[in-house]
Structures are given as C-alpha cells and as structure tokens.
Structure 1
Amino acid sequence: MTHAIPVPLPSALVDHHAVDLERKYTDGWGVRVDDVATTPTGEMYALHGVHRHTYGVADDEPDPAKAHFGYSLVTRFAPDGTPLATAVSGQSAYRGRNRTTTFGGPTTGLGEDLCWAKGLCVLPDGTLAATGPGDQTHLVTADLTALTARHRAPLSSYDDGPRDPFASWISTTPAGRLLCTTGEYGLYNYANLLANIVSVTDQPLTPTSKPTLRALASMEAEPVKHTEADLRPDVLFDGRPVGMDRRPRPSLAEHLIGADPTARRWDWHDARLGRPAVVREDLFVVPVFGHVYRGGSRGQRFAFVLVSDEGEVVGRLGGMDLYRDSPFTGFCFEIAADPAHERIYHLNRYGLFAWTATGVRAQRLDLEDKRYKLLKHFTLVDCTPAGELILVHRTQHLLLRIPCPAALGALGQTVEDALRSYAKERTALKRQWQPVNWHWIDSTAPLHRL
C-alpha cells in the first residue's frame, strides 16, 4: 500500500509565472492543501491552492513573471496515488486584474466572492462539490473537465448581488444523503455570513436541481436584526424557512451551557461551528469551539457534539482535557469519522484520538512519544470509505494514508508502521520527483481550466 502521495503544482503554471520555488513564504507567496475527498473505488481528489502577492508590484502588472496571482486547484489521483488530472481556476481577488485568462486560458472561477474554496466532497453520482464561505458551492465533473453549477450568496448582508447559496460544508452519508452547514447573518451581531445551521437533505444535489435542507441543529439560537429578506426557502425547520425566530432550539451553545454546571454563558459567546462528520446514517458529530483570543486560547472551551438525524443531541465525545488536549493550538478543529466501523477520529498538536459511536474515548496517541511525534506536522482531512485516515503534511505538501486497524487497541502500532513506511516512501519520492523546497511539479497529468 502507498502511504505517501505528493500534491503537485502544474508545470504550466510554474513556468508561466516564473515561480521561484526557493522563495520563502514570508516573501508573499504560498502553497497550501485545504481538503481531500475520496471515492468508494479508491480515487482521491485534493483541493489546494497557490498565490503570489509581492510588495511594490502594480496590481495591473502585465508581465506574468511579476504579476500577482491566485489559483484554486483540484487534483485527481488514482488509487495508487498517480495524478490523473488537475483543474485550475483563477480566484476573483486576482482575476479582477486580468479577468479573461488563467495563464493563457479562459476561466470562470472556484473561490468566487474574494475567498477560496475550503471543502471538497464527492457526491453519490461521482460529481465533485467544492464549498466555501458564503455557502458557495461549485459542482465539477468527476473528470475535472467542466464546472456544471455554481451557488453563492454575498458574504456580507450589506452586499448586493445574486443570492443562490447552498452550503459551506458538505459530507455524504452511507445512503447518499447530504450533511451540510449553512450560514446566517447577524450571528453575535456580525454582518458577515457565518456558519450556524447543521442540516440534512434527502434529495440529490445536481447541476439542475438544488435540494431542500432540513435543519437539525443551530449553534446560536438568536441571530439579531433578521428580516424576511434573510429567510432561506431551501433551509427548513418544522416545514418553514429558517430565519427570524425560527431555528432548532435549544441551540448547541444552550445545550453545552446547560449540560455543564461549570460553564458560563460567555464561555460560548462568539463560538464557531466546525465541519460536521457522519458517524453513521443516523448520527453525526459536530465540532463547536469557543471564542479565539489574540493572546492565545489554549484552555478555552470546545466540544464535539453528537447529534441524531432527528436533531436530538445524544451526547458528546469524552476524554479530552480543555488545556492538555486543546485543539486551539494550531487551530486543529477537524474531525473525521468512519461510518463503516462507527468510529470517530481527531488529530491535534497533542494527540491522535479515537472514539466509538457512543462518544467513549478508545485511544489517545500522545504526540510527545517519539513514535508518533511526526504527526505534529499533519492535519487530519478525511476518512475514506475503506476506513483509511488521510492526513496532509502542512509544509511538505504530501498526503499520508493510514489504514485503520480492525481493533482500536492496535491503532498505535498501525500508525507507527505507517509513519515508518511514509518516511521510506518520502525518500524514494524525492529521488523520483526532485522537488524544490518540498514543491512537487507535475507535467504529465492533463490540465483543465475551469
């Protein structure tokens, strides 16, 4: 089995912009991997991006070797990790300076609204859904050759423009339903659109039809200054559009305050909703984390709440210390679940955690242990239908694939073996790819401009 897989940049992009791969990111450029999605047949898709903005260069600089740029990319991989194709789209923040081309070809754009797509999901029919802030959802064909639908809403309630949003995060259940989060204006009196509603849909999302979402839970029950214009006809609670005074109660914040006698109301004020994960067809886990402070938030409250597909809060993941196991260090709020085995996983800078579907912690691998210390450099992004954990190295742009054992008691040995194999494979990949400063360049896979 292949454990290490590079996430490459297209050579055409690097050559067109004369990208200096030795240049430090502090000089105004960067590459990052945002998300990974997998198919039941073992293929993988990676959502990643690259940007450059150099001080002293004019916004309308015509020379591509000097001009600012920003691109969202989706790369498709075969089950053995071979890149099959890459789709690239100019981001609107940079396309405003050159609206008609993406290093020589036409583009429409993943990452509209001056932001970047953050989530990736393979829908039951094989279509790829790229999602991001503003409940923007872009549908892309499985072969990455065409953008087939786009849904968006203004990021601010003060903005005019088309209002046809769908979701900021999407995950699929084993039966093919969609678990989504959607945003609302007025959360904590903010004018921005912030994720607040967890919902599920029974109908498919297709290029020609947008399904109705049934609201299961809200993070904050009383966003302020709502008007009829803020109602979402496609997001329903008790058969009526969510908005105004209509949303699931008690909210997750209200539940967490009521369930913990030591909690105070302001402990969950200005909280944020993370990406939910599917534990099984009728059970989901929803990350909620408290306010982030400039001076540091380690020790601040967080919770991973278990919610049924009827909107009932049935528990939370246990066995984590607010300070010793804090996900606020490095902002590691990602959660992954394996519906086939009804397990839940979380990785932060202090440990790799595993739970059963009841919320009982079954394993904690301490990252201070030299056997697992390498995991500090990774972010957990997905759990495949086959039960493999997919992690991304934050600086080396490599995917790490870890097969989860039949018994969680063997997780430590499995991770240790995978890390050992990963180190050997990484050495072989360096000889094969000859990366520059951990930037992998591919000139073989077809390149499609969206």
Structure 2
Amino acid sequence: MLRTYPLALPGTLVDHHRMDLGAPYSLGWGVRAHDVTGARNGEVYALYALYRHTYGVDDDETDPVKASFGYRVITRYAPDGEIMASAVFRSDGSGEPSAVVDGGDMSLCVLPDGVLAVSTGPDNTTLVAPDLSRVLAAYDAKDRRPYRELLPGDAFASSLAVTPSGRLLCTVAEYGVWRYGNVLTNLVGVADGPLTATSKPTIRAIASLDPEPAHQGDVDVREHAVYGGAPIGRANRPRPALTELVADEDPLSNWERSHLGRPVPLADDLFVVPFYAETFRGGSRSQPFVFALVDDRGRMTGRLQGMHPWRDSPFTGHCFALAADAHRGHAFHLNRYGLYAWNRAGVLRARLDTGDKAFKPLTHFTLGACAPDGDLLLVHTKQHLILRIPAPEDLTGLATAVREALRAYAGRRTALKKRWTPVNWHWTHTSAPVHRI
C-alpha cells in the first residue's frame, strides 16, 4: 500500500539543543538519511543522522545550545505510517556513551526473528530490540588503524541482508585492501546459522574484490569468516577475485582502488554483488561498474545487463545502492538518470528515464530497500520523507505504479504538512517514546 513516512526528529533532542530548524545547512548542521528497511509484519525502520558543528566554539563546550554534536536516530513505523518509537545514540564520541558500535556506511537489517541489526564498517554489528528500547548485543571489531595499539575485537559483518529462507548475506572487511593501511570491505559471504545476542554463525566467503590485500599478519586473520574450511587471511580468500574476472573486458579499466557495494539477494542461492571502479574528485562519470550475479558457491553466473557507463552512470551523485525482492526475483537500482529493474536472469525489464517529466521527481529520491512484500522504499533527500511504492508482480507494470505513486506523493506530502507543520521540511515528533541506547 502506498505510504509516506516523515524522518522525524525527537522533539526532546531539538529542544535540548534549541535548534533552529529553519537555518540553512551552510551554518554547519544537517539531517541525512542512512538507510531504511522493512519487517515482515509490515513495519518500517529508518536510520538517519542529525549533526551540528559550531565553528569557532571550543570542542569542550558543554552548553548544549552552543556545542557541536552528532546523533544517529532510528525510527520505527507501524504499517499505517504512524511513528511507534525512536532510538537515539551519540555518534561523535562525546556525551552520553552508546552501546551501539559506531562506524562508517551504517546500515539496517531486520533479522528473521524480528531483531534489528545495525551494521557499520568495518565488521561491527549491533543487535537492537524490535521496539528500540535496548541494545541486546554488540559485536565490535575494534578497528585496526596505523600507529595505534591493536585491541582484540569480536567482529562480525559490515553489512547484512536476509534471504527468503533466513540465510544472511554478509560483507566482511580485511586489512591492507589495495595496499591501504586500514580495514576496508573486501569479501562477500553467506552465514547459514542464526545471529543472536549469545552466538554468531560462521560466514563462508564466496567472493572477494582485491585478490591480494597487502601486509597481513596473524592478527589480521578473520576467525569467524572461512574459505576452504580455514579462516580468511593472508593468502586464503576466494580466487579469482571479482576484479580478476572482469579485468580483460576493457584494457583501459583499472580496477585497483575499486570498492565493493552492498550485495542483495535475488534468491536463497543467487545474489547481486555490485562493485565500482575508482572514484575521482573531478568526476567519475563513465567509470566502469559491474552488478555481478554470484551464486552461493561463488560462481559469477552473469550480471545485470542494459546500463550504459555514461548515460546511466551511478557515479553521478554517488548513487550506488541496489535493492531486491528475492521472493519475486526482481532487482532495482535508482540513480540520477533513471529507475532500473531486472529479473532474476539479469535481463533489464524496465527503465524509467528521469528525462521524462513524469519520472523527473525521482532525481530527488534515493533508493532505500525493498520491503519483504516487494514494496520499494525511497527517501526524499531534501523533504526528509520516505515514499513506499507498491511494486507490481510483473515489472512491465512498474512505470504505471511509479507514475501513480509520484502523482499521489504531492497530495500526501501536503496532508502531512498540515498535520505536522514542519519547519523547512524538518519534522519533529513528541508523542512516541524516545529511547537512549
């Protein structure tokens, strides 16, 4: 069912810092969405950041009105769109400590038992109760960094996705990827056991990006991730790597310093694994990218076809997200040039061109995820709203479904404005519980 959800800020947080929600972001503050995901019971979770940097103010400033801050907010929505609860935790290392392990590229996943998993790179996973009231467990990798003491950690995964039968599709980081002196995402794996507050399953690696990460020692072996029956590390990882499989396609392409995107399941045993060539500061449009089809034995069986490296480039605006409806075998990608949809065989079945007036509003949205019922979850980057679009059974009807959803969005947005009275598209809520976790 078509729904619209506001990325609402807890009113207590806004009042505590006396925030001017009408101020421009150029003054050093902002709201930014990280991820959205759906649960099997129809609920939706959203993760977004609220931050402020007050220039010229000492870092040890304690007055909440003047001090810099960084928060992450997780909000839980009922199937009808009502906010049920929010959880708030600091992400700047100051203030009240949080049990949620912070990091980069933060993402959400609802596990088969309904528990919410919050994953960050590299290989940190925090389990949060479905009602957002408390943290159940935290798997903290204790990130290795140059010139710092190496602390023992308890790593799991940098991102998670769930297949129809409940398997976990994971990404795992390694030290020395592309000869960098830190830990970067490099592996794709599958875990067949449950992830709980008391135990974690073994991740079986099926694909790698950099075939030979540099300067690894015994301390860099990933005991919880295996390949060929042995822990990942040193020279033990899937070969040939994804970059080796495509290296000969374009002699001008250099896959060194490429990066691995977040994979999504197309079925229990088939996954879309995206990887992208190096991103340049001066613009990367026409840089190569691959949406590889990889089975659970690590074979690259094909790819999502039909995108042109220039006309359909995801590098414009850094639109790297994929979403998939594993029950129907549909994959989706949204960037500045269109919304794309494929079937399980990798055949492009729909391309909604944003040059078309009807689909131009898509340029203001980012792709979040597919809900378990197949609905598409899009996030408006400026109006801070989630648009839930019912996806048709047949992809030939996608254009009609999206056109109708975008047309209805304007009316629903107006109704929300009258009810919520946002300030410069910043929404606040005061009635739902807010938990500090």
Task: Tell me the TM-score normalized by structure 2.
Answer: 0.97
1:258-301 CA-partner distances (Å, limit 9, x unpaired): 4x2x344x521110000000101110001100000111000000
Shift in Å, 1:414: 0.8
Partner of 1:179: 169
Residue of structure 1 in register with 2:137 after alignment: 149
- Secondary structure of the residue that 2:403 maps to in structure 1? helix
Q: Does 1:273 align with 2:260?
A: yes
Which residue in 1 is equivalent to 2:289?
302
Post-superposition Cα deviations, 1:188-208, rounded to whole Å, max 9, x if no partner, equal 110111100000011111001
Partner of 1:50: 50
Q: Kindly state the Cα deviation for residue 229 of structure 1 after the two structures are TM-superposed.
A: 1.1
> Following the alignment from structure 2 to structure 1, what is the Cα–Cα distance between the partners of residues 119 and 53?
24
Task: Give the partner amino acid of 1:401.
Answer: R
Structure 2: which amino acid aligns with 1:68?
A: S
Alpha-carbon distance in 1 for matches of 2:324, 2:189? 17
Q: Is contact 1:290-1:302 (8 Å) kept?
A: yes
Aligned partner of residue 13 in structure 2, secondary structure: helix
**Structure 2 partner of 1:23:** 23
CA distance in 2, matches of 1:225, 1:255: 24
Secondary structure (helix, strand or coil) at the match of 2:340 reads: strand
Of 415, 418, 426 in structure 2, the residue corresponding to residue 428 of structure 1 is 415
State whether residues 152 and 162 of structure 1, in contact with CA within 8 Å, keep that contact through their aligned partners in structure 2.
Answer: no
Question: Is residue 379–residue 391 contact of structure 1 (8 Å, CA) maintained in 2?
Answer: yes
SS in 2 for 1:297: coil
Identify the match of residue 236 of structure 1 among 223, 226, 236.
Answer: 226
Partner of 1:366: 353
Task: Determine the structure 2 residue equivalent to 1:167.
Answer: 157
> Are 1:311 and 2:301 counterparts?
no
Match of 1:222 in 2: 212
Q: What SS does the aligned partner of 2:247 have?
A: helix
Please show how residues 34-73 of structure 1 align to structure 2 within 5 Å: 34-73=34-73
Specify the code of the residue in structure 1 equivalent to 2:223.
P
**In the TM superposition, what whole-angstrom CA distance separates every residue of 1:227-253 from its partner, at most 9, and x where no partner exists?**
111101100001001111110011000
Q: Post-superposition shift, 1:3?
A: 2.6
Aligned-residue Cα RMSD (Å) equals 1.2
1:444 to partner: Cα distance = 0.6
Cα shift at 1:73: 1.2
Q: Partner residue of 2:5? A: 5
Question: Does the CA contact (< 8 Å) of 2:43 and 2:77 recur in 1?
Answer: yes
Aligned to 2:338: 351
- 2:386 paired with 1:399: yes
- Deviation of the 1:341 alpha carbon: 0.8
Q: 1:306 to 1:109 in 2, by over 3 A?
A: same
CA distance in 2, matches of 1:437, 1:94: 29
* In structure 2, distance between residues paired with 1:162 and 1:48: 29
Alpha-carbon offset, residue 116 of structure 1: 5.0
AA matched with 1:78: A
Structure 2 counterpart of 1:176, which letter? G
How far does residue 403 in structure 1 lie from its aligned partner after superposition? Answer: 0.9
2:199 and 2:68 mapped to 1: Cα distance?
37
The offset of 1:302, in angstroms, is: 0.4
Unaligned runs of 5+ in 1: 102-106
Q: CA contact under 8 A between 1:72 and 1:117: conserved in structure 2?
A: no
Q: Within 1, Cα distance between the matches of 2:360 and 2:21?
A: 27
> What one-letter code is carried by the residue in structure 2 that aligns with 1:185?
Y
- In structure 1, C-alpha distance between the alignment counterparts of 2:62 and 2:8, rounded to whole Å: 26
Instruction: Say if 2:192 is the partner of 1:205.
Output: no
| Aligned pairs for 1:402-413 within 5 A | 402-413=389-400
Task: Please name the residue that 2:312 is paired with.
Answer: 325
**Residue 445 (structure 1) shift:** 0.5
In the alignment, the residues of structure 1 paired with residue 16 and residue 2 of structure 2 have an alpha-carbon distance, to the nearest angstrom, of 32
Q: Which amino acid aligns with 2:202?
A: T
CA distance in 2 between counterparts of 1:309 and 1:339 reads 14
Deviations 1:58-100 (A, max 9, x none): 1111211111111111100000110000011112x241xx3xx
Q: Aligned partners of 1:162, 1:426: CA distance in 2, in Å?
A: 49
Whichever residue aligns with residue 63 of structure 1, its letter is D
Cα deviation for residue 111 of structure 1 reads 4.5
1:104 matched residue in structure 2: none
Are 1:79 and 2:66 an aligned pair? Answer: no
Q: Per-residue displacement from partner, 1:111-142 (whole Å, max 9, x unpaired)?
A: 43xx3561000001111100111211111001
Q: Which amino acid aligns with 2:167?
A: R
CA distance in 2 between counterparts of 1:79 and 1:6 reads 13
Structure 1: distance between partners of 2:383 and 2:182: 34
Say if 2:101 and 2:138, in contact at 8 Å, map to a contact too. no
SS of 1:280's equivalent in the other structure is coil
Contact kept, 8 Å, 2:101 with 2:125, in 1: the verdict is: no
The separation in 1 between residues aligned to 2:89 and 2:20, in whole angstroms, is 21
Deviations 1:396-431 (A, max 9, x none): 110011111122111111100000111110011011
Decide whether aligned partners of structure 1 residues 71 and 268 sit closer, same or farther in structure 2, where only a CA change above 3 A counts: same
Deviations 1:338-389 (A, max 9, x none): 1111011000000100101111111111001000000001110100111100
Q: Distance in 2 between matches of 1:116 and 1:336?
A: 20
CA contact (8 A) 2:3 2:80 kept: no
Q: Report whether the alignment pairs 1:286 with 2:273.
A: yes
1:155 Cα deviation (Å)? 3.3
Is the 8 Å Cα contact of residues 142 and 154 (structure 2) preserved in structure 1? Answer: no
The alignment covers a number of residue pairs equal to 435
Offset at residue 153 of structure 1 (A): 2.1
Q: In 2, distance between residues paired with 1:111 and 1:426? A: 34
How many percent identity over aligned positions? Answer: 49
Aligned to 1:133: 121
Partner of 1:254: 244
C-alpha distance in structure 2 between counterparts of 1:402 and 1:263, whole Å: 41
Alpha-carbon contact 1:168-1:181 (below 8 Å) kept = yes
Question: Quick one: distance in 1 between partners of 2:345 and 2:175?
Answer: 33
